[in-house]
Copies of this chain bind each other. A is one copy, B any other.
């Protein structure tokens, strides 16, 4: 059963005008007399005329839709980003089509394929944890599709990018742990190929070094599915706990890894923060209510989303290929709560 819409032709017929006249009247062209304009406008209003966006898209070769690829919308970080994107998109008359990679390379590829086949005007992408090569993205970009990367960027593709200062975020989180008295600090991160994983690892290492602590490779664990597969995190943690240098604190690199750690530690009856301190990147809205309340590195996700689309639109609307690109870097915020609070030694003081 279809939804019958009124077209410009209906107006033309009803008023005894041509479609061109109606079209121009609606667009307030100088070629149309004020009387005719009023006639058309009033009638259009009366029958609630809505221009058909599909016809317009065909004519303009622009769909006014942009595709967004995120890990999963259930993740607060991404849902906040999407809110930022949508707030701008709506203002500017763009549609947003969201697709989720669920951190799988295959899903990401098929989403990419799907989105481009749906003729979108541009793409906002945060690559999945599993992504090993960027050939698909590169091919699409080379064909002229405007892309802006956010969060998990791709160095190999030259375009605008929006990230946070992952290095400093990780540096501060690690330094905080050190200052709280933790000395064997483990780091659980995403697949090592990811930009965010590299930067956060570097921040972690730099903080250790600056505080005169040595780097111990056995305290660094990679979760190449970003924690989407529960087992990989469980294995990583198991290895850490069996490690001859046993960690007394964990810095986790993502939302899922952080809360995942907490869940496993609880199951193993390991007390946070007394046995092990825990801090991680997270934009969850319940971290303050957890047991214990989590110390987190928070990212300005809403702003990232806004910025990303604000950078994308000029690429879409530019008549000539853009050749100069920039990478915007936003700051993270360190929120200290009880999960990194007291070391046993400190309690005794």
Instruction: Name A64's closest neighbour in chain B (CB-CB).
Output: B118
Question: Does B315 lie within 8 Å of A289, measured CB to CB?
Answer: no
Number of copies: 2
Contact residues in B for A90 (Cβ distance below 8 Å): 114
CA distance A291 to B286 in the complex (A): 10
Question: Does B291 lie within 8 Å of A292, measured CB to CB?
Answer: yes
Question: Does A53 lie within 8 Å of B117, measured CB to CB?
Answer: yes
Instruction: Name A262's closest neighbour in chain B (CB-CB).
Output: B289
**Of residues 292 to 322 in A, which have CB atoms within 8 Å of B's CB atoms?**
292-293, 315-316, 318-322
With contacts A54-B57, A144-B4, A146-B1 known, is A266 near B289, CB below 8 A?
A: yes
Residues of A in contact, count (CB < 8 Å): 61
**Of residues 33 to 62 in A, which have CB atoms within 8 Å of B's CB atoms?**
50, 52-55, 57-58, 61-62
CA distance A321 to B321 in the complex (A): 49
Contact residues in B for A100 (Cβ distance below 8 Å): 83, 86
Least Cβ–Cβ distance between A201 and chain B, in angstroms: 26
**Of residues 54 to 97 in A, which have CB atoms within 8 Å of B's CB atoms?**
54-55, 57-58, 61-63, 72-74, 76, 79-80, 82-83, 86, 90, 95-97
Question: Does A58 lie within 8 Å of B58, measured CB to CB?
Answer: yes
CA distance A2 to B60 in the complex (A): 11
CA distance A117 to B53 in the complex (A): 7
Q: What would 10 A/B residue contacts be, using CB atoms closer than 8 Å? A: A1-B144, A1-B319, A1-B321, A2-B62, A53-B118, A54-B58, A54-B63, A55-B58, A74-B80, A291-B291
